[in-house]
Chains A and B, each alone.
Chain A
Amino acid sequence: MLEMNGLQKVFRSGLVETHALRDFSLTVDAGEFVAVTGPSGSGKTTFLNIAGLLDGFSGGSYFLDGYNVTQLNDARRSKMRNQKLGFIFQSFNLIADLNIFDNVDVPLRYRGFSGRERKKRIDKMLEMVGLLGRKKHFPGQLSGGQQQRVAIARALAGEPRMILADEPTGNLDTLMAKQIMELLEDVNRQGTTVIMVTHDPNLARRANRHIQIVDGQLTDFQMYEPLSKIQQTAVAV
């Protein structure tokens, strides 16, 4: 699904150069649920932005769903974002001037679906996240958890192959965080790849793979084996 090799990302602001990613390599298979953790400023968001084609990179290669990203122009990238990717952000990023229905409508508009098809999909998604009754409401009239559910509905409306979530529960309380997590797990069970950045080790633990980014580089944890087994080995030594 996603294959990064020796990625470099350098931010230049004035005289300061920040190496946000250095020699970053990662492969994610279709259907995986990957949790990304790491200290603040380590490059997690940078990684997600590049993975989501929202940002370029300075060196290395990136293949998304078999396409060499560097060779795609803006229109093709935008199309890939629209058809294959779904984004969920910590700050929800709903468009304040649009009601819930119209927010979920946005990616479908760029997709070029007919009005009837759009309405069908929007209603289905809002029903799934339990907010169909609120479709005329504006984001400001909803709680944080509800807003994030709208954002998820929006991300899923186009039936993407991969969800990129940047601390989706960062602004939510534990109960709401749990609901969101369950939603994402549901989506993943239906075959959608999920990459989720989180600060919450409990959430990270629920993913079937946990990677850590430290100082722009990857440290791979395999979480398939139970934690206790590793601890046992350590004790045995």
Chain B
Amino acid sequence: MLGYYLILGWRSLWKTPIISVLMMLVLGLGMSFSLVLLTVMESSRYNPMQHKIDNLYAVQLDNWSDDPANIFFGSKNFIPTAISFRDAKALLASDIPTRATMLTASGAMLENPGNKEVAPQLHSGYLVTRDFFSMFDVAFASGGAWEKQNSYNGIHAIVLNEWLSNTLFGSVDSVGEMLLVDGTPYTVSGVVKGDWYMAPRVYDYSKNPFGSSPGFYFPLEDIALNDYKRWGGIYGWKQEEINSHQQFLASEALWVRPWLEFESSQQKELFETFVKAYVEQEQNNGRYEGSNKVVLSNSTQWMSIQEGYQAYADYVLAALILLICTTNSIALLMAKFLKTTADSAIRRALGASRYSIFTQHMFEAFLVALGGGVFSLLISYYWFAVINRTMSGWDYQFLSQFTKLSPVSLIFVFVLVLVATTLSGALPAWRVSKTEPGRYLNAE
């Protein structure tokens, strides 16, 4: 009997080949598009710092206006994701965490004064403090982080990415060499392996977390002397008069991302208490009108906080596409099935039960689903090929690492298309099986 239903379904689809193929194609397109979207989203949820999940924490302070008309990102649940420079200094001064780093995206004109053949060039990098490298497992090709010094009087050391070192100094090891950063002399303390990367860069979402590795890292402390570029996000709420760089550093502008490393939860609690005390003290000084809330998030929590700000737009889009696809196939199947109601009535008269009429139409829907599934696989393969080719350019090299279609997700999509479409055939099939045969059999 099942074979009979398959034959009937096949014949029925073959009767209107263009509509059938169109139905499958639309399904395939929609499903593969959502698959691509989901895969990219999935890869963005990969946490490269999972192995330090209990050690690394980002800290958030509620240094925002208490004006109800001025809420951070429009939600009372959100508190700022960056802190001010003066608070960063205060947190860095604590001995409680095993390690701590304060960072922000930056950029600078780099120049090798010893090689006039290479023109000065603008590169993007990061302002960090020296613990950054060990906290986020940066792999060095040679050298390492700069020496520890609690100094805001100019550390003047820099870590270069291997490719940038090669650009500026050629193939020689640049550790110990001197270069000009926005005109100021810096000494190279380390070179990061060219193939080392982190995606997404959990430590900072304010600047393309899937982009290529930063070209260089230099001390955040040095910003006390020089107005280096800040290319990360800056949040602000307070009307302050800022006429100089020093005024900016002392202001409530929020732009430093603080990360801490703890070895135990006691250590973490201790630090939390310390920060709370600090915030309360600052409240006494007339700062922190928001609240004394202190939020410590591990790297995974941090990622989801960052996603929260994106308002799940991607999910909504994927769901919408799926909805449109299934609605489309429901409508087309409904139209197709209702056209054959008279045939179903004849079959009923000849002994087909409601159930067998239903099953027969479900098989047809199943065939459509099968076709849609095959199309979606073909299209997905094509799309992933296109994406990988497009993103093999330097800026997306890391994203492309994740956009390979795995056999598991292939099977997942296939089953998803199959189930979704077959189910979408249920309503039309049920409608047809429900019609009373009598009235169709005697119509002239």
B-contacting residues of A (Cβ < 8 Å)? 45, 49, 52, 54-55, 74-75, 77-79, 81-83, 87, 89-91, 93-97, 106-107, 109-112, 154, 158, 166
Q: Chain A residues near B116 (CB, 8 Å)?
A: none
Smallest CB gap from B5: residue in A: A109
Q: Chain A residues near B73 (CB, 8 Å)?
A: none
In the complex, whether B86 has a CB less than 8 A from a CB of chain A is no
Does B442 contact A89, Cβ atoms closer than 8 Å?
yes
Known contacts A52-B349, A110-B356; 15 further A-B pairs (Cβ under 8 A) = A54-B348, A54-B436, A54-B438, A77-B353, A78-B348, A78-B353, A82-B350, A87-B350, A89-B442, A91-B442, A93-B349, A94-B346, A96-B343, A97-B15, A107-B350
How far in angstroms is the closest Cβ of chain A from B357? 9
Q: Mark B6-26, 1 if CB is under 8 A from A, else 0.
A: 000001100100000000000
Q: Chain A residues near B349 (CB, 8 Å)?
A: 52, 54, 81, 87, 93
A111→B353 CA distance, assembly (Å): 11
Known A93-B349, A95-B343, A109-B4; contact A74-B354, beta-carbon cutoff 8 A: yes
How far in angstroms is the closest Cβ of chain A from B212? 60
A89→B439 CA distance, assembly (Å): 12
Does B442 contact A107, Cβ atoms closer than 8 Å?
no
Does A74 contact B442, Cβ atoms closer than 8 Å?
no
Q: Chain B residues near A106 (CB, 8 Å)?
A: 346-347, 350
A96→B15 CA distance, assembly (Å): 12
Please pick, from B4, B348, B442, the residue contacting A166 in the complex, using a CB distance under 8 A.
B442
Q: Chain A residues near B95 (CB, 8 Å)?
A: none
Q: Chain B residues near A79 (CB, 8 Å)?
A: 351, 353
How far in angstroms is the closest Cβ of chain B from A236? 43
Q: Chain B residues near A109 (CB, 8 Å)?
A: 1, 4
In the complex, whether B437 has a CB less than 8 A from a CB of chain A is yes
Q: Chain B residues near A83 (CB, 8 Å)?
A: 351
In the complex, whether B241 has a CB less than 8 A from a CB of chain A is no
Q: Mark B401-439, 1 if CB is under 8 A from A, else 0.
A: 000000000000000000000000000000000001110
Does A74 contact B355, Cβ atoms closer than 8 Å?
yes
In the complex, whether B67 has a CB less than 8 A from a CB of chain A is no
Q: Chain A residues near B355 (CB, 8 Å)?
A: 74-75
How far in angstroms is the closest Cβ of chain A from B168? 75
Does A111 contact B346, Cβ atoms closer than 8 Å?
no
A226→B344 CA distance, assembly (Å): 44
In the complex, whether B441 has a CB less than 8 A from a CB of chain A is yes
How far in angstroms is the closest Cβ of chain B from A145? 17
Does B348 contact A91, Cβ atoms closer than 8 Å?
no
- Chain B residues with a Cβ closer than 8 Å to the other chain, count: 25
Does B346 contact A78, Cβ atoms closer than 8 Å?
no
In the complex, whether B444 has a CB less than 8 A from a CB of chain A is yes
Does A93 contact B351, Cβ atoms closer than 8 Å?
no
Does B343 contact A74, Cβ atoms closer than 8 Å?
no
How far in angstroms is the closest Cβ of chain A from B360? 10
Ranked nearest first, the 7 interchain pairs of A and B with the lowest CB-CB distance are A82-B351, A78-B353, A49-B438, A110-B351, A107-B350, A55-B438, A54-B438
In the complex, whether B69 has a CB less than 8 A from a CB of chain A is no
Does B442 contact A45, Cβ atoms closer than 8 Å?
yes
The contact sample of 6 A-B pairs, CB cut-off 8 A, is: A49-B441, A55-B438, A75-B353, A81-B349, A91-B443, A96-B343
A93→B356 CA distance, assembly (Å): 19
Q: Which of A77, A78, A94, A97 has the most CB of B within 10 A?
A: A78
Q: Chain B residues near A96 (CB, 8 Å)?
A: 343
In the complex, whether B352 has a CB less than 8 A from a CB of chain A is yes
Please pick, from B4, B346, B354, the residue contacting A93 in the complex, using a CB distance under 8 A.
B346
Please pick, from B343, B351, B354, the residue contacting A81 in the complex, using a CB distance under 8 A.
B351
A52→B437 CA distance, assembly (Å): 11
Smallest CB gap from B11: residue in A: A97
A78→B355 CA distance, assembly (Å): 10
Does B15 contact A93, Cβ atoms closer than 8 Å?
no
Q: Which of A45, A55, A94, A95 has the most CB of B within 10 A?
A: A95
Does A107 contact B353, Cβ atoms closer than 8 Å?
no
A81→B354 CA distance, assembly (Å): 13
Does A110 contact B352, Cβ atoms closer than 8 Å?
yes
How far in angstroms is the closest Cβ of chain B from A225? 33
Smallest CB gap from A78: residue in B: B353
Does A78 contact B352, Cβ atoms closer than 8 Å?
yes
A55→B343 CA distance, assembly (Å): 17
Known A54-B437, A95-B343; contact A112-B350, beta-carbon cutoff 8 A: no
A54→B1 CA distance, assembly (Å): 22
Does B346 contact A95, Cβ atoms closer than 8 Å?
yes
Does A81 contact B442, Cβ atoms closer than 8 Å?
no
Q: Chain B residues near A55 (CB, 8 Å)?
A: 436, 438
Q: Which of B1, B12, B347, B349 has the most CB of A within 10 A?
A: B349
A216→B350 CA distance, assembly (Å): 26
Q: Chain B residues near A74 (CB, 8 Å)?
A: 353-355
Smallest CB gap from B343: residue in A: A95
